[in-house]
Amino acid sequence: MEGAYQVLLLVKEAGLKPDCQLYTTLISTCAKSGKVDAMFEVFHEMVNAGVEPNAYTYGALIDGCARAGQVAKAFGAYGIMSSKVKPDRVVFNALITACGQSGAVDRAFDVLAEMRAEPRPVDPDHVTIGALMKTCAQAGQADRAREVYKMLHSFNIKGDVDVYTIAVSTCSQTGDLEFALSVYDDMTRNGILPDEINDQ
């Protein structure tokens, strides 16, 4: 993160104006370092400098809040964004992940409903499904996680090894071997090779 700040200073010292991409990269760096306050400081500096944030900027803010488990700040950033920029699937997935980090299961499903209620509905992808299942599993709602898993079929999503691993792991809460085997069958039928976690 220190190096990223040095780059920003060098750009300014060279008499150049930092652009949206540079600020967004710095926000993302802060997010990955878990520096939520620093992330918002960069965002405010960006806005005060007259640089317009884009969907990637807001996505980086929301992702940083999700990583830190700060769901209220994630939705605060989303609130600012929704009045300026159309949210995309990446943003919605980050919001669902933030909900999962804080145990806000019902709010995660509200986000899914918001995705579908957009003027041009945003379909979930395997990341959406995985984040929702994980949110349910972390809250001890394995039955609800299994219902979410069915969305892979209803939205015709092939998935990846991670989403199937999350689905199989929810079975450990209830000891549902039959469901675990059906997930494994779905995975192999879709041409996804199991890893050592699935094989356990």
What CATH number does the domain containing 41 carry?
1.25.40.10
pLDDT on residue 4: 64
183 and 168 Cβ atoms separated by less than 8 Å:
yes
Query: Does residue 79 sit within a domain?
Result: yes
For CA atoms 22, 23, 29, 32, give the dihedral sign.
negative
Model confidence, pTM? 0.80
Query: Does residue 74 sit within a domain?
Result: yes
92 and 115 Cβ atoms separated by less than 8 Å:
yes
Tokens of 191: 């041409």
Query: Does residue 28 sit within a domain?
Result: yes
Give residue 32's domain range: 1-87
78 and 62 Cβ atoms separated by less than 8 Å:
yes
Query: Does residue 117 sit within a domain?
Result: no
Query: Does residue 18 sit within a domain?
Result: yes
Mean pLDDT, rounded, for 66-76: 87
pLDDT on residue 112: 94
Number of domains, the chain: 1
pLDDT on residue 1: 59
97-140 pLDDT, tens digit per residue, is: 888 888 889 999 999 999 999 888 899 999 999 999 999 988 88
Query: Does residue 40 sit within a domain?
Result: yes
